[in-house]
Amino acid sequence: MKKILAVILTVTLLVGALSVMGSAVYFELEQGFLYDETYVMGDVNDDGGVDGKDSLTLKANVAGLTDYDILLSASDFDADSAASAKDSYALKLVLSGAKRSEDFENGRQVYRLTIAGNDITDYCIVLPTDATEEDNIYFAYLNLMKYVRKATGVELPLAWGSATTEKAIYFNNVKLESELGNELGIEGYKYDVTDGNLNIYGTYRGNMYAVFDILEKYLGFRFYAPSETFIYKSRVVDIPEGTSDEIVPSIVFRFARHTFGRGFAKGHFFANKLNGGISGYDEKFYGSKIGPLYSNAHSFLEYWQMGTGKWPEGSGVPDGMSTEIYDSKLYDAKFKSGEQKDAYGWQPCATSDKEYNILFEGMIDCNRMVMSWGRSTFIAEGQTLFSFSIADNQNYCACRNCRMISKTEGYSGLYLQLYNRATEDAQAYYPGVHLYGIVYAKDFPKTIKPHSNFVILYCGVGCNNHLLGLEECYEGGGQLNNMSNAGDLEALPFWGNLCKETGAQLWFWVYPVTYHYYLSSCPNVTAYYYNLKWLYEEANVTGFFYEGGGTTYNFETLKEYMAVKFMWDPEMTFEEWEDILLEYLYMNYGEGYNELWEYIQMQTEAGDQCGTCFVNNFDRPGDMYSYEYLAENYEYMRGLLLTAYDKALTEDQEDRIETLIVCCDFMGLSSVHTDWYLNGENVELYKTRYTWMYNYITDHNMRVFSSDVYSKPATIDFEINPMIQFYEYGSRRTGIYP
């Protein structure tokens, strides 16, 4: 079996790298790099060994007998991108024992790198004389040099202004106000190969993004995790004469708050072309202008405190305690009783001049303070961006004036009016500044339109089970506040069109993460391609904030990686998205990627057969999965994971799959508890698996919930369903056991 889809390699590795993977595949972990051995020199027919059959196959191919397919990388002994009589002779030397396969290797993942057919050793890197080490263009150079050396062993020399070698890689620091700069914007880039020279053009971040694009497309790098970078093995890679590419991202705000590291590995963050930030992340990194959103959107509470010296009356936030900590404690305290977080909280009056002045002055003072610390601010289309936004609840002001406006304009229009006022007033302090604010309500205004310098950050969606754009959700179907996607289906296109009309922007806050029940993931992996695609194509969304968090159990990091890839290339087809998904499963889990993809699809089916809408940040496992489906398919699904475990290539991959098995057992054993244990159909197997699962959770200190509200039981009680032992009950719906 091929170790990964041929189509993925066809898309990503060129010329000599077009061959699919061979059977001798191994990984070596060195300083976070995973080296993939995709072929063995001499294994012409890709059957896992080097023998006389390979010699006959190569001879026949060289003679022009087209029925004899070869693996070119394994056949190209002289690294000239073709199979020839010289290669056939070299293989004979290997078979005779006069040479070894290793004698034709150099220990590098890319044996030979060329540009327009010229060897990479003939090149230097040229930076403009006005570039400094603080510029993004210098950071781009450092990364190109680093990863070319990692792939080929070649150290590219640096030159300033003009080349010191016959051929060169030229970085061009394009001025934003120039014709090309206006075309590329802050993040766009262009590169071409002309007369054997590789020319790279960008303004602020473009040169950096161009480098990572080249590293992925040509050298086979995959920046799939902060701690690990994957690189394919290729015999010959050529960036051919006439190569020309230009990319200007259509999604202007791209951010994923990663499960696997809130601080981010900077290389991973930039390599995946993310450009957002959260509170406290204030790096100005080599001119990249990556900065904070200041208060993670919900800024009214902070601005009120800045303006008055205390938290708003009625917010319930104790003095000296941050709102984030308070929100968490409040949620946990009310969780067991099922009380809703939105029953508590404060919003300002949207029609009070006094309250507006407090908020506006608080915003100006807060941002002055942040800037005095030396922090940068996020740049969107060249403009500074500040938060001016409602708090994290929907308890809108109910005074007479606010009620009157909301009757015709809705609550969204009520607070949009406040947002617009602040956006206009802020221009006197920071000309060209953009503000952004949260929209929760599914209503929309009749006459009020967003200011051209305002960004609507729409939070959704109401259901994680059904797709946006399809009328599958039904009113009353959601488990929290009767939430569904019905309101989003109408509101989002409306906002998108309104933003087009005024020049404002619509960004979307994505909620796919498994928030609380860590042993039971939200079965929404496949939904998010279609949801993001609909948001981009039908609702004119130009920015995404991907809500990560929690643990790395199940497929949380996969969802984040796929969202990041989509943000950069929202035009991708489902087939392209699926290829990237399979590749990620291969890199993260090993050769059992097909089994894992089938497992994910079965999880999705179990969610579909649950027969309801659900929201993954509040609903429980039984609200998101059909217990009947899981019980019927538990053994088969577990078997898929065991097969994937057997195909893992590293201990880390085995550990990840074992965690998947633990989570599979938790849901499976909860589903079959009555039949297997209470009814005596499979008591010993049930006890064996429960014991193994419990001990694994204990030994690996696995978190089972987002806080100490629920935790691993002190001892096993086989008489009680695992769902109840760990989480008290599994569903808020009637008729669902447990």
Domain ranges of the chain: 6-104, 115-247, 253-569, 602-727
Distance CA 304, CA 536 (A): 35
Q: Which stretch of 480-494, 514-528, 694-708 has the lowest confidence by average pLDDT?
A: 480-494
Q: Are 342 and 386 in contact (CB under 8 A)?
A: no
With tokens 């191994």, the residue in question is: 26
Distance CA 30, CA 33 (A): 5
| pLDDT higher than 80, residue 609 | yes
Distance CA 507, CA 499 (A): 10
Can you give the pLDDT at residue 324?
A: 47
Q: How confident is the model at residue 348 (pLDDT cuts 50, 70, 90)?
A: very high
Q: What is the pLDDT of residues 18-34, one digit of tens each?
A: 222 333 344 554 458 88
Output phi, psi for 167, to 5 deg.
-120, 160
Q: What is the pLDDT of residues 189-207, one digit of tens each?
A: 999 999 999 999 999 889 9
Q: Which two tokens stand for residue 636?
A: 């088969």
Q: Are 11 and 579 in contact (CB under 8 A)?
A: yes
Q: What is the pLDDT of residues 444-477, one digit of tens each?
A: 899 999 999 999 999 987 788 888 888 787 655 5
Mean pLDDT over each residue of the chain, to the nearest integer: 86
Can you give the pLDDT at residue 414?
A: 97
Q: Are 271 and 212 in contact (CB under 8 A)?
A: yes
- Laid out side by side, the sheet with 110-115 consists of 118-119, 110-115, 234-239
DSSP state of 109: S
Q: Are 420 and 451 in contact (CB under 8 A)?
A: yes
CA distances from 398 to 344, 392, 393, 407 (A): 14, 17, 14, 11
Q: Determine the angle formed by the axes of helices 593-608 and 574-589, rounding to 10 degrees.
A: 120
**H-only helix segments in 467-555:** 486-502, 527-538
Can you give the pLDDT at residue 547?
A: 87
Q: What is the pLDDT of residues 371-384, one digit of tens each?
A: 777 665 544 445 57
Q: What is the pLDDT of residues 714-724, one digit of tens each?
A: 999 999 999 99
| Burial (CB count <10 Å: 0-12, 13-18, 19+), residue 708 | exposed
14: closest CA among 245, 272, 267? 245
**Cis-peptide, bond into residue 461, ω within 30° of zero:** yes
Q: How confident is the model at residue 501 (pLDDT cuts 50, 70, 90)?
A: very high
Q: What is the pLDDT of residues 254-294, one digit of tens each?
A: 888 776 554 456 678 889 998 876 444 445 455 554 444 45
Can you give the pLDDT at residue 473?
A: 79
**Residue 161: how many other CB atoms lie within 10 Å:** 10
In 3-state terms, what secondary structure has residue 346?
Answer: coil
Q: How confident is the model at residue 735 (pLDDT cuts 50, 70, 90)?
A: confident
Can you give the pLDDT at residue 475?
A: 56
| pLDDT higher than 50, residue 335 | no
Q: How confident is the model at residue 480 (pLDDT cuts 50, 70, 90)?
A: low
More confident residue, 6 or 430: 430
Q: What is the pLDDT of residues 34-46, one digit of tens each?
A: 888 889 999 999 9
121: closest CA among 170, 168, 78, 171? 168
Distance CA 736, CA 608 (A): 16
What is the CATH T-level fold of the domain 6-104, as seen in this structure? Type 1 dockerin domain (1.10.1330)
Assign domain 115-247 to its CATH superfamily.
Chitobiase/beta-hexosaminidase domain 2-like (3.30.379.10)
Distance CA 279, CA 266 (A): 16
Q: 379 has which bridge partners?
A: 384
CB burial string 422-443: b at 16+ within 10 A, e below: bbeebeeebeebbbbbbbbbbb
Can you give the pLDDT at residue 530?
A: 94
Give mean pLDDT, residues 610-622: 84
Distance CA 32, CA 38 (A): 19
**Which DSSP string do the residues of 634-682 spell out, in sequence order?**
HHHHHHHHHHHHHT--SHHHHHHHHHHHHHHHHHHHHHHIIIIIIT-SS
| pLDDT higher than 60, residue 555 | yes
Contacts of 658 (CB under 8 A, 6+ apart): 645, 696
Q: Which two tokens stand for residue 179?
A: 């014709």
Q: What is the pLDDT of residues 120-179, one digit of tens each?
A: 999 999 999 999 988 889 999 999 999 999 999 999 999 999 999 999 999 999 998 999
Q: Which two tokens stand for residue 352?
A: 């009070």
How far is Cα of residue 133 from the mean position of the Cα atoms in its chain?
Answer: 29
